[in-house]
Structure 1
Amino acid sequence: MKLAKKAIATAATALTLAAAAVQAETLSLGDFQSTSHIVSLEGTTKWMAAVEEATGGKITFHHFPSQQAAKSKAQLDAVNNGILDAALLGALYHAETLPLNSVVGLPGYYSSAVQGTEAIQEMLKAGPLRDELLAAGVTPIFGFVLPPYQVLAKTHLGMPADWKALDVRTSGATQAMTARSLGAVGISIPGPEVYTAVERGRLDAVLFPLASVPGYKLNEVVSHISTNGSFGGYSFVMVVRSDLFDGLDTDVREKMVSLGAETARHVAKAQDDSVATLIEQWKAEGIDTYSFSAAELESLRSAMAPVTADWVTRMGGDKAKQVLERYSALTSQ
């Protein structure tokens, strides 16, 4: 009898441990930003810590920043192949798989990270952007954007005539077309190589989000920085492999998403706030931080208008028009 009771107790303990093991998940999460970047400090790592605390350890993370598990353009493949369970995707790096999500790269729409993030968050709740991610095998948890891209250069750039034949660093095909629409030549160069390219004269100007400038020290090699332009944007989407996410407890899924929404708002505001501080710092360093005049903005918008028309043509179909109309409406609020 004692042996039987002991066996039952042992079996019960084993079942309890097994149940705990099933409930606990350690997710491997890929990220191409360094842990010192504002996107990681105020976004990724903040969200991971909040989820771990809110779920009482049911969800923990093994973080792979700085492309440790996969290169920036391979993050989505790494999740689908089981190398990673989750990733912070740079949507424009996956434009072939997520073409409609590239809408954020269009120039002339949102004016702050908060405004752009509110739009992207809304569009990820339901509709073509979410459907595109689900079709790619991942579930979007939250999304946010970088502040709108500005121009950093060695000379003051205003009207489109100032841009003629300049070599400008761009990010992605849409932004390359933005540069071409202004008469410049769009050149794709990885972020870590931009400093040297500007320093050595390979680049005349750079389209870049101001919150990310300190990470690459570009303020050391330029003398003019615009502050109120909108030369396109860049979105990040935190995703989890769908089969894994769907298997989590409902309360865990809900907490991951709700905390994601809070994180998206937080990292967006943190970036906008950092830009204001950086502009004052750069002014003190003697850098010409300038605002485009109303006439310059109108001329730039007019010159860049064909970029949006081209995007709709390249995407094709009613979905692209639907996405653009929704995006335009949300970023106009």
Structure 2
Amino acid sequence: MTRNTKLDRFAAGAALVIAVGTMPQIAAAEVTLKVADTFPPGHYIVETGTTYWMDRVTELTDGEVKFQYFGAGQLGSLRDMFSMVQTGVVDIGYVPPAYNGGTMPLAGVHTLPGLFSQSVVGTPAFFETVTSDPILQNDFLANGMRPVWGVMTSTYNLFTRDQDVSGIDDIKGLKLKTIAGNMAESVKALGGAPVDIPSPETYQAIRTGTVDGTIFPTTSIYSYKLDEVIDTAVLGLDVFVYWAPYAIREEVWQDLSPEHQQAIQQASQEAMQRVAEETDRSAAELEDKMRDSGIEVIVLDEAQREKVKSATAPVFDAWVSGLQERGLPAGEVLEMFRANIEKHQTQ
């Protein structure tokens, strides 16, 4: 598959969300957009995606669109990002639905366990889903923002410290750093005790024994320096995948010229493809790197993986029924996402 063909995957979804605003624009004008996230320095999403995206937009607009970037939580915590975009503290912010389930409930469909295993499949599939109604209107536009670009991380696996772990049965009773919602429910289904802790606080929580370990994306172990505090990795659990999106305040988007919107759209397509490819490449290499770091790596066999799927199956029904009781079309969203996954798996 050629790079151009891969980029075409993203075009359909991107065109839906980065649609040209309805307000007429007179002429392109220079603008500086303030961008914020909480990724630590050196994180692969920033190095491969965010920095590239900002530079590419500036290039495509001949310097008319520039950025002020505030990373590593300089302007606020992960839980602050949503309100910072809404209130205009920043123009573009890192607003993952996994940490904003109360205001972005339908987008939480991506946190259901085991839907896909590759970022190059999940990233375009979910971008098409999240940039279409009902998610676009309910979770983003209703909150005064729209997604610009986002990437699916590698699947989440189990990483522990000072625990006797050899398979999924040993999860029972472990206190594990999770994210509230479907990940926490999946951990409960496997017998663990979920503890809701933001990712930047994971290192300290493991080091001090606040938790016994974490459910975490394999590709982020080193950027968060967790290799310094874990001694065992259990791969193949695949109970969660995390969507890392940047959203722009809708008022800011509507004030941009059509030319600037188009440049952002193109750069977003390219950035998503770059990061998705890097995610899958890195995940494939990290098993050996962890072993070389002295971490014991356990890979679940097919029988153990089937036990995980069976144990976590009720999480799907609970998520759908819980939102439908609130009048939200969760079943429709799940089927839409599954259809988009199937489409991109065959491309």
Could you tell me the TM-score, scaled by structure 2's length?
A: 0.85
Matched position secondary structure for 2:195: strand
Q: 1:205 aligns with which of 207, 213, 230?
A: 213
Higher relative CO (Cα under 8 Å, sequence separation at least 6) belongs to 2
Q: 2:84 aligns with which of 57, 78, 85?
A: 78
Q: Does 1:87 align with 2:97?
A: no
How far did 1:319 drift? Answer: 1.6
How far did 1:200 drift? Answer: 4.0
Matched position secondary structure for 1:95: coil
Aligned to 2:155: 148
Residues 315 and 219 (structure 1), Cα distance of their counterparts in 2 relative to 1, 3 Å cut: same
User: What amino acid sits opposite 2:167 in the alignment?
Assistant: G
CA distance in 1, matches of 2:197, 2:338: 29
CA distance in 1, matches of 2:245, 2:204: 29
CA distance in 1, matches of 2:296, 2:121: 26
CA RMSD between the two structures: 1.9
Q: 8 Å contact 2:235–2:297 — kept in the other structure?
A: yes
Aligned to 2:51: 45
Q: 8 Å contact 1:109–1:230 — kept in the other structure?
A: no
Aligned to 2:114: 108
Residues 130 and 197 (structure 1), Cα distance of their counterparts in 2 relative to 1, 3 Å cut: same
CA distance in 2, matches of 1:31, 1:92: 15
The C-alpha deviation readout for 1:35-76, integer Å capped at 9, x for no partner, is 411111111111001001111112111111112223211212
Residues 326 and 190 (structure 1), Cα distance of their counterparts in 2 relative to 1, 3 Å cut: same
CA distance in 1, matches of 2:36, 2:230: 32
Pairs within 5 Å for 1:182-331: 182-316=190-324, 317=327, 319-331=329-341
How far did 1:318 drift? Answer: 5.8
Once the two structures are aligned, what percentage of the paired residues are identical?
A: 30
User: What amino acid sits opposite 1:203 in the alignment?
Assistant: V
CA distance in 2, matches of 1:69, 1:195: 21
Could you tell me the TM-score, scaled by structure 1's length?
A: 0.88
The C-alpha deviation readout for 1:136-192, integer Å capped at 9, x for no partner, is 111222221111101112433423x32221111112222111110011110122334
Q: Does 1:34 align with 2:40?
A: yes
Q: Does 1:158 align with 2:167?
A: yes
Residues 81 and 103 (structure 1), Cα distance of their counterparts in 2 relative to 1, 3 Å cut: same
User: What amino acid sits opposite 2:330 in the alignment?
Assistant: A
Residues 52 and 167 (structure 1), Cα distance of their counterparts in 2 relative to 1, 3 Å cut: same
CA distance in 1, matches of 2:158, 2:275: 22
CA distance in 2, matches of 1:241, 1:59: 16
Q: How many residues in Structure 1 have an aligned counterpart in Structure 2? A: 313
Larger mean Cα displacement after TM superposition, 185-194 or 137-146: 185-194
Matched position secondary structure for 2:332: helix
CA distance in 1, matches of 2:340, 2:235: 22
CA distance in 1, matches of 2:328, 2:144: 23
CA distance in 1, matches of 2:75, 2:104: 21
Which ranges of structure 1 fall in alignment gaps of 5 or more residues? 1-18
Matched position secondary structure for 2:223: helix
Q: 8 Å contact 2:57–2:65 — kept in the other structure?
A: yes
Matched position secondary structure for 1:60: strand
Query: Looking at CA atoms only, which structure, 1 or 2, has the larger radius of gyration?
Result: 1
User: What amino acid sits opposite 1:325 in the alignment?
Assistant: E
CA distance in 2, matches of 1:186, 1:250: 46
How far did 1:208 drift? Answer: 0.2
How far did 1:256 drift? Answer: 0.4
Which ranges of structure 2 fall in alignment gaps of 5 or more residues? 1-25
CA distance in 1, matches of 2:50, 2:100: 19
Q: 1:66 aligns with which of 60, 63, 72?
A: 72
CA distance in 1, matches of 2:251, 2:150: 20
